[in-house]
Amino acid sequence: MAKLQLKPNLELEIKKGMAWSVHAFTTSGIVLGFLALVAVLKNDVVQAFVWLGIALFVDGVDGTLARRARVKEYTPNFDGGALDLVIDFFTYVAVPALMIYWFNMVPVPWGFSSQTWSLICAALIMAVSCYTFANMNMKSFDYYFVGFPAIWNVVVLYFYLFNTGWLINFITVIGLSILTFIPVKFVHPLRVAHWRNVTIAMTVLWATMTLSLVLSGLKPSTTDLTYNVELALFGVASAYFAWISLWRTFGLGSKDDDDITPATAA
């Protein structure tokens, strides 16, 4: 009889182990975020973006792994969604806010000292992002984000790659902070069904160009053809994400669609 019971018990333990492995994989994101923070304190912006990029990859795939491993069924007393939110706030908000302050990305030349304005913008980012992560209606029924989804790590990346000035950075921080509370749709590149194949292809293109551009260093020679082509492809992918988000906001669906109970999965 003991042998008869061994197989089902072993199978259950294996499935539990797989579920816990997914949670461990998700947890690695906080370590990656910490390494990014350490890189910031060492003034190594490239390394900081590399760690944040890996953390973004982990966050992008752990939800799919969690659903396949059926973590809610096999680890019912552990809230993977809460874990994901804690890590995301650190890597998407806290570390990028520190980067804006530490690297003085918003040196407004009037009023307070330039560093003080960067500090104010960083504090604003931290504050408004609390609403995003506490918002029960963060996602629409079709997995678009509702309101700016606090992807400040991506925003800081654009500041870095395009070497934007204080005015653009300041307007962007204020504008996106306001959009946090406005139901504009932002595409989830891995979960939205509309144009899924194109969106995934654009996501791969965007990630590839991002990695190459970050590793190439800030603003190589403008005569560098490879760099300019990569920057152009990066811009094309970015424009696509902006287009599909605006298309969903203003051209697709109806008010009744938006009133449907939103998706809650990560």
**Residue 260's pLDDT is what?**
40
d(CA 88, CA 151): 9
Judge whether 52 lies within some domain. Answer: yes
Q: Which CATH number goes with the domain that contains 81? A: 1.20.120
d(CA 147, CA 262): 13
Q: Evaluate whether 266 touches 81 at the Cβ level (below 8 Å).
A: yes
What residues contact 87, with CB distance under 8 A and at least 6 apart?
Answer: 26, 27, 29, 30, 33, 55, 59
Judge whether 246 lies within some domain. Answer: no
Residue 230 tokens read as: 């990569």
Judge whether 196 lies within some domain. Answer: no
**Residue 7's pLDDT is what?**
60
**Residue 102's pLDDT is what?**
97
Judge whether 257 lies within some domain. Answer: no
- Round to the nearest angstrom and report the end-to-end CA distance of the chain: 42
**Residue 222's pLDDT is what?**
60
Structural domain boundaries, residue 8: 2-186
> Position 184: which residue type?
V
Judge whether 208 lies within some domain. Answer: no
**Residue 255's pLDDT is what?**
46
Q: Evaluate whether 37 touches 98 at the Cβ level (below 8 Å).
A: yes
**Residue 194's pLDDT is what?**
79
Judge whether 230 lies within some domain. Answer: no
**Residue 262's pLDDT is what?**
44
Judge whether 233 lies within some domain. Answer: no
The count of residues in the chain is 266
Helical packing angle, 45-69 and 95-102, nearest 10°: 170
Number of separate domains in the chain: 1
**Diameter of the chain measured on Cα atoms:** 81
Judge whether 134 lies within some domain. Answer: yes
SS3 185: strand
**Residue 256's pLDDT is what?**
43
SS3 7: helix
Instruction: Compute CA 261 distance to the chain's CA centroid, rounded to the nearest angstrom.
Output: 23
Q: Evaluate whether 70 touches 102 at the Cβ level (below 8 Å).
A: no
- In whole angstroms, how far apart are CA 130 and each of 23, 56, 60, 113? 23, 19, 21, 27
Q: Evaluate whether 151 touches 103 at the Cβ level (below 8 Å).
A: no
Nearest to 22 by CA among 86, 68, 89: 68
Q: Going residue by residue through the chain (266 aa), what tens digit of pLDDT does each one get?
A: 445 455 667 888 888 889 999 999 999 999 999 999 999 999 999 999 999 999 999 998 888 888 898 889 888 899 888 999 999 999 999 999 999 999 999 999 887 777 899 999 999 999 999 999 999 888 888 878 999 999 999 999 999 988 899 999 999 999 999 999 999 999 888 777 878 889 899 999 999 999 999 988 665 556 678 888 888 999 999 999 999 989 888 876 544 444 444 444 44
